[in-house]
Structure 1
Amino acid sequence: MSRTMIAALVLVGLGLLTGCATSKDELMPTNGMTMQELWQQGSSMSAGDAGQQNIAATRATLRRPITSADMVEEQTRYTREAANEIHSQFSRLPNPDLVIYIYPHLAGRDQSVPVPGYSTVFPLYQKPHYAMPGETARPPGRTR
């Protein structure tokens, strides 16, 4: 090995040892508080009357009773229909639109007819493609 290679390895080794010489207290000061004290301080701030009311309101929202309208909506969502079965089992794969800009040009036999520039849109695939049952490219609940 050459001397420059050895010197480079020594410098890298010294750099690594210098990085390990840093103490955790310098990197993350704790201000003298333990983890238990931090936990108790955080829980005492939310344990006030306003905090308890917020918790109770959130729990009441989550534990709301199911109304008959909710049940009808759930039943109609799971009702088997021919169209529903086809769209849920064989969903269409996305067919993105491509936009192309046609620059101004001359057309015709003699190249004497000016055509202004325009944009046009066409689908990427010529015909729709369908996913196999269980294979989907769309998020659940979205049709067409």
Structure 2
Amino acid sequence: MPIRSTRSLPGLLLGALLSSGCSTDKDHLLPHGPQTMADIWDSQSAPPLERRLEEVRQTLQRPLNEAAAAQPAYTRTARNEIHSQFRRLPNPDLVMYVFPHLAGSDPVPVPGYSTVFPLYQRVQYALPGERTEDY
């Protein structure tokens, strides 16, 4: 009795297994139903208690009016504290007009333009209590 080779048997089993894995039906994997993606998302996004609390919060919120919108100007913030204690000293802007000219190794005409730069190179701040208004 001749002995047959069993080396090709694992290859055949693997091929049969792979070809059967691709034979599933789309409708079996992704069943159709009356729910939309928004319904599924809403049902999974938050527990019902949290959703109810959020709805109650939305009904209790008052709309912003002009008085409430202006209130942040009266609150203390780091920016307000810095600007109220350390005021910027005046640093006037100088306007310079550059006349039309030729520039570069190949003389290219540049039209005239105006530019603005500060008088002092650095911004200076007054110490707390130091007067910044004109005398």
Q: Same fold (TM over 0.5)?
A: no
TM-score (norm 2): 0.39
| Structure with more of its chain in helix, by fraction | 1
Quick check: which has more Rg, 1 or 2?
2
